[in-house]
Amino acid sequence: MTDSLAIALLQHVPVPADIEAALQRLDDAASQAAGQGAQLLVVPEASVTGYNIPRETMVKVAQPADGPAAQAIAQICRKYAIAIAYGFAEARGEQFFNCVQLIDQSGERLVQYRKTHLWGDLDRELFTAGDQFAPVVEIDGWKIGLLICYDVEFPECARQLALQGAELVLVPTGLMQPWRAVAEQLVPVRAYENQIFIAYANYCGEEADLHYEGRSVIVDPNGEDLDRALQTPVLLQATLDRDTLTNARAQLPYHRDRRPELYTSLHNKPKDLS
- Choose the catalytic residue: 45, 90, 167, 207: 45
Work out whether strand 210-211 and strand 206-207 pair parallel, antiparallel, or are unpaired: antiparallel
Q: Is 143 a catalytic residue?
A: no
Q: Residue 33 and residue 232: Cα distance in Å, rounded? A: 18
Q: Residue 168 and residue 75: Cα distance in Å, rounded? A: 24
Whether 29 and 73 have beta carbons less than 8 Å apart is answered as no
Work out whether strand 109-114 and strand 197-201 pair parallel, antiparallel, or are unpaired: unpaired
Mark residue 88 as left, alpha or beta (left: phi above 0; alpha: psi -120 to 50; beta: remaining): beta
Q: Is 271 a catalytic residue?
A: no
Q: Residue 123 and residue 106: Cα distance in Å, rounded? A: 32
Q: Residue 130 and residue 143: Cα distance in Å, rounded? A: 22
SS3 152: helix
For CA atoms 55, 59, 63, 65, the dihedral sign is positive
The radius of gyration computed from the CA coordinates of the chain, to the nearest angstrom, equals 18
- Choose the catalytic residue: 90, 115, 153, 213: 115
- Choose the catalytic residue: 77, 149, 157, 204: 149
Q: Residue 56 and residue 16: Cα distance in Å, rounded? A: 13
Q: Is 45 a catalytic residue?
A: yes
Cα atoms in the Cβ-side hemisphere of radius 13 Å centred on 158: 27
Which of the residues are catalytic?
Answer: 45, 115, 149
